[in-house]
Amino acid sequence: MRAVQVKEFGGPEVLEVLELPTPQPDSVEVVVDVEVADVMFLDARLRSGWGQDFFAMSLPYVPGGAIGGVVSEIGADVDPRWLGKRVVTQTAASGIGGGLPIGGYAEKSLAKAATLTEIPDGLTTEQAVGLAHDGRTALAVFDAAAVQPGSWVLITAAAGGLGTLLTQLSVAAGAQVVAAARGQEKLALATRLGATAVVDYSADGWEQRAREITGGGAAVVFDGAGGELGGAALTAVADNGQFLGYGSAAGDFAQGDTDAAVARGVTVLGLFDIVGEDVDWVGITARAQSAVAEGALEVVIGQTFPIDQVRQAHAAIESRSAVGRTLLTVSASL
């Protein structure tokens, strides 16, 4: 089978498309004939050699933690009804709070039967994979915030996969959204999705501008940027508000004065405070899929690359030119 392999850490040029052995499932796993693979910013960071203290990547490896396609083989203990089903799933090695996002950039990939979600009619495989990470995380983060009608919400990295979903969810809940992103194309996307106001966080003092727009600070800040941008966003939370930092698009999770925020009554939550073991990930994935299939939520797929152009996919993410989700099409029929 064809697959993308990383033999050494480095830039996008270390991604190679090779012929590799077809994986064999254990008793509780399945083989998925992959049509579409999700491409995450995390994939690019791990490829560069970042995060070895958190993700013990052993070379060589096949990147990719989420896939969509058709179940073509099952393990001995798997319900045979899965055979031939069109599914979306994390890979067998992947998992929030543990595991490694590997194995997905391939024509065939292993997945655990327990993580399979059948893709409903009315939803494309691309849409389902676009939701595989972001849909479930967005709903988990949004549920934790309990956004109130009429309140102000600030969203950083608002043009990314999670940001676009959280913008729509917040607007649907009756909130007023300030979308923070970089560049006119991304800000225009946020406006189209219903943001009340936009701020470009490449401009100095953008966080003060956000505080002015919200009349003293947002009741809820959804931070997908992290790093210094996330730290600045932390200062734009209203007293007694909430800060939910789930992203690291700027390089790391938010770096700010949490003690000062807590002294103002701000509740500060990180990703792993939100996505605990009690989250029903299969159920929440199905919920996100239903919302998209019913037209209540749009999956913004900004760019799709064939597997032979995987290097361009990673370069687009690292250059910050990508909007929404970035996908790889693996099946020759797509």
- pLDDT the model gives residue 99: 86
Could you tell me the pLDDT band of residue 321, with boundaries at 50, 70 and 90? confident
| AA letter at 97 | G
- pLDDT the model gives residue 249: 58
Least confident of 156-160, 227-231, 247-251, 325-329: 247-251
Tens of pLDDT, residues 117-164: 999 988 999 999 999 988 989 999 999 999 999 999 999 999 999 999
Q: Is residue 166 part of a domain?
A: yes
Based on the domain organization, do 235 and 159 belong to the same domain?
A: yes
- pLDDT the model gives residue 284: 86
Based on the domain organization, do 234 and 319 belong to the same domain?
A: no
Could you tell me the pLDDT band of residue 320, with boundaries at 50, 70 and 90? confident
Cis peptide upstream of residue 63 (ω within 30 degrees of 0): no
Share of the chain above pLDDT 70, in %: 96
Based on the domain organization, do 86 and 154 belong to the same domain?
A: no
In the predicted model, is pLDDT for residue 333 greater than 70?
Answer: no
Based on the domain organization, do 114 and 29 belong to the same domain?
A: yes
Q: Is residue 334 part of a domain?
A: no
Tens of pLDDT, residues 241-280: 999 998 765 556 667 788 888 889 999 998 878 876 677 8
DSSP string, 196-259: SEEEETTSTTHHHHHHHHTTS-EEEEEESS-HHHHHHHHTTEEEEEEEEE---TTSSS--S-HH
Could you tell me the pLDDT band of residue 95, with boundaries at 50, 70 and 90? confident
Tens of pLDDT, residues 138-150: 999 999 999 999 9
Strand boundaries in the chain, DSSP class E? 2-6, 15-19, 29-39, 66-74, 86-90, 108-112, 117-118, 152-156, 176-181, 197-200, 218-223, 237-245, 267-270, 301-306, 325-329
Q: Please report, for the domain that includes residue 91, its CATH number.
A: 3.90.180.10
In the predicted model, is pLDDT for residue 216 greater than 60?
Answer: yes
Cβ pair 36, 75 in contact under 8 A: no
- pLDDT the model gives residue 259: 85
Q: In the predicted model, what is the mean pLDDT of the chain? A: 92
Could you tell me the pLDDT band of residue 307, with boundaries at 50, 70 and 90? very high
The parent domain of residue 225 ranges over: 135-274
Based on the domain organization, do 145 and 232 belong to the same domain?
A: yes
